[in-house]
Every structure is written in structure tokens, then in C-alpha cells.
Amino acid sequence: MPKTIIPFGPQHPVLPEPLHLKLVMQDETIVEAIPAIGYVHRGLEKLTETKEFTQNVYIVERICGICSFMHALTYCQGIESLMGVEVPPRARFLRVIWAELHRIHSHLLWLGLLADAFGFESLFMQCWRNREKVMDIMEETCGSRVIISGNTIGGTRRDISSEMLVKISSVADEIRDDLKRVEPVFFNDYTVKHRLVGVGVLEREKAYVLGAAGPMARGSGIRQDLRMTGYAAYGELDFEPIVETDGDCYARTMVRLKEVYQSIELIKQAASIIPEGEISVPVKGFPKGEVVSRVEQPRGEVLYYMRGNGTKNLDRLRVRTPTFANIPALLQMLPGSQLADVPVLILTIDPCISCTER
């Protein structure tokens, strides 16, 4: 049977990311997928070498808006490690609260995009309506809805009052109740299950060998979540990674939906036991040496390598994002799938090309 090469992206009505794939087809079945990444280049890593290390907090936040707080958290934790800075306990809990708000915001955005890919416009609007509540909280606590600039080296730039913590817990309960109403559509609707169950299966062994990260790995049965290492204040909170074993698109959807509930509980836990005290400490001196800093973003593990030379500028900053880690797994899933499943398959890795190509 003759083969046909069909270009997918970088512009596509379903996929809002500039990812380009060359799909080798036999009839409607994919035989091979060849990635062509590199359409986005902003030179952010080079820019961090020309700015002072304190200014880089604002640069790394702009690697990705949706998980901007986690980028700043990863950077700050690395610099704090190099300089021997001890972050106050209250700041560590505040970091958890804002990080989990970003995780809810990211997962609800993804659930809405997935619903839109099916043509479920009402479900898309329901998910994004809940996302607006999270963004309103971030605006109230930090003054901005997406890139909130809450982190600083040595702690956080802002505090959250006791009254606001009560409100955050109340809004988190509202989001949970609203999500419970739409959850049956994701889990039980015939059309949704037909599009997700058994599609894009990634076995546990393949996911491990290919280095899959985040919900991609946990959806294939790998119990890997960097929050379990206890960074920030996660070591003082009670939770377990969300793991599914089927390894298909349905399993990855279940992981992300259940992680929204988990993030709500983590926020409520942190808000209930957050200690009083300072939110930052003064930082003196300059970073010197090498460090690797890792944080669990909504899409998976992000890794920062930093090298300081004892001056106000870094010698090197290198970022390895979860989308980059998940592209090999995507290329493993595509062969054998149908052309109509490609948009959904790509969406289930939750791609962020601005993160990947910087």
C-alpha cells in the first residue's frame, strides 16, 4: 500500500501550539511520526546570562505563563541552595498554595481544551468558568491573573492574610463541587470514552525507558511525583501521587482530573496549618558553584541547571521542561493510531512549545 506524508501543524484549528509533525500514513493509519520542532525561539536562556541573578526571576516566569510560578520557584530554590539561604516556614507554605493554584489553573485549562477538541463546547465553558475563579484569587493575592511574580530569592514577595486564606479554602470548595457536576461527562459519557479509552496506549515499561514525566508517566502506572521529595512545604503535607495503570488517553485524563481534587485538598491543608512569621529573608552575596533544581510542574518534572561564578551574573542557566521529556513518548504513541485521533493524542501530553523551545 502506498504511503502518504501529511503535515500536521504548526497551525491547526484544534491545537493552539506551534508543534509540527510529519505523519507518514497508510490510508487513515499512522505508520511513523517525524517531529520538526524549532518554530519558536526567544533566546531566554542567553538573556539570563546578561541580567543580574535577581532579575532572572522575572525572566524565567515568562518561559511559560500557565506554570510561571513553578518556573520562578525552581529558579529561586536553586539560587537559594547555591547561596545557603534558609527560606522562612511561612514562605514555604505560601509557595505551596500558589503552586497548587497554578496546577488547578493549568489542569482546568487542559480539560477545557480537551472538551473543545471533542466539540463539547458547553463542557469547555464549564471548565474555564472554574478556572476564572482561580485566576481571580491570584489577582487578589498578587495583583495579576497569570504571571503573578510571587516568588523572590529568600521567600515570597507578598503575604496572604488569614481572611484571604479562609476565602481561598471556600473558593476551592466551590471549584470541587462544580467539578463534581461535570466529572461524569469526562468519566462516563459514551462519546468521550469512545475517543479516549484504548487510544494512545503507552505501556509502563515504554514510559519509563522514554523518560515520560508528570501525568504521562503516572497515567502509565509510574509512581513518580517530585512533590514527594518534600521541597517547599510538601514534606509537611499528607498526600499520595495519583496513579492510573491503563496508559491510554482516558487514564491520563483521569490523572489530571483527580489531581485537581488533590490540589484543592493540599491548598486547604496548607491554609489550615500555615505558621505565622516572616515571608522572606535578606539575601547577601552572589551565587557561586553548580546546582540542579527540580520541581513538579502541572505537566511534569522541570529541571534547572545553574552555574554561578561569584558575580551578579550567572555563567549558565539551562532548562529541561516536561513537554520536551514527553515528546519521545508521543512519537511512540502515534504509530498505529488513526489520523482523527492525532489532535487528542497530542493534547494528552499537554504540550507547551513556548516552554520547550524558549
**Contact assessment for residue 234 and residue 296, using Cβ atoms and an 8 Å cutoff:** no
CA distances for 226 relative to 6, 155, 294, angstroms: 38, 20, 8
How far is it, in rounded angstroms, from Cα 30 to Cα 186?
26
How far is it, in rounded angstroms, from Cα 231 to Cα 179?
28
Ligand-binding annotation for 64, yes or no, is yes
| The pLDDT value given to residue 109 | 93
**Contact assessment for residue 142 and residue 152, using Cβ atoms and an 8 Å cutoff:** no
| The pLDDT value given to residue 72 | 96
The beta strand positions in 9-138, using DSSP E, are 21-26, 29-35
**Contact assessment for residue 223 and residue 358, using Cβ atoms and an 8 Å cutoff:** no
Each of the 358 residues of the chain gets a pLDDT tens digit; together they read 678 888 887 777 767 777 888 899 998 899 999 887 777 777 888 899 999 999 999 999 998 888 899 999 999 999 999 999 999 999 999 999 999 999 999 999 999 999 988 888 899 999 999 999 999 999 999 988 889 999 999 999 999 999 999 999 999 999 999 999 999 999 899 988 998 998 989 999 999 999 999 999 999 999 999 999 999 999 999 999 999 999 999 999 999 999 999 999 999 999 999 999 999 999 999 999 999 999 999 999 999 999 999 999 999 999 999 998 999 999 999 998 898 888 888 888 888 887 887 7
| The pLDDT value given to residue 1 | 67
Ligand-binding annotation for 355, yes or no, is yes
- Spell out the residues 6+ positions from residue 254 whose beta carbon is closer than 8 angstroms to its own: 186, 187, 219, 244
For the chain, which domains are there?
Answer: 4-357 (1.10.645.10)
Helix axes 162-188, 249-273, angle to 10 degrees: 160
| The pLDDT value given to residue 120 | 87
- The SS3 of residue 277 is coil
How far is it, in rounded angstroms, from Cα 234 to Cα 263?
11
| The pLDDT value given to residue 315 | 94
CA distances for 216 relative to 60, 82, 175, 189, 221, angstroms: 24, 31, 24, 22, 9
Ligand-binding annotation for 255, yes or no, is no
How far is it, in rounded angstroms, from Cα 240 to Cα 225?
9
Ligand-binding annotation for 67, yes or no, is yes
Burial 48-85 (b: 16+ CB within 10 A, else e): beeeebeebbebbbbbbbbbbbbbbbbbbbbbbebbeb
Q: What DSSP string describes 228-275?
A: GG-TTTGGGS-------SS-SHHHHHHHHHHHHHHHHHHHHHHHHHPP
| The pLDDT value given to residue 12 | 73
How far is it, in rounded angstroms, from Cα 285 to Cα 304?
21
- The SS3 of residue 302 is strand
Q: Helices then strands (H, E): number in the chain?
A: 13, 8
Ligand-binding annotation for 28, yes or no, is no
User: Tell me, what DSSP letter sits at residue 58?
Assistant: H
Ligand-binding annotation for 127, yes or no, is no
Burial 19-46 (b: 16+ CB within 10 A, else e): bbbebbbeeeebbebeeebeeeeeebee
**Contact assessment for residue 213 and residue 301, using Cβ atoms and an 8 Å cutoff:** yes
Task: Report the alpha-carbon angle 326-332-337, nearest 5.
Answer: 120
| The pLDDT value given to residue 9 | 76
How far is it, in rounded angstroms, from Cα 358 to Cα 349?
18
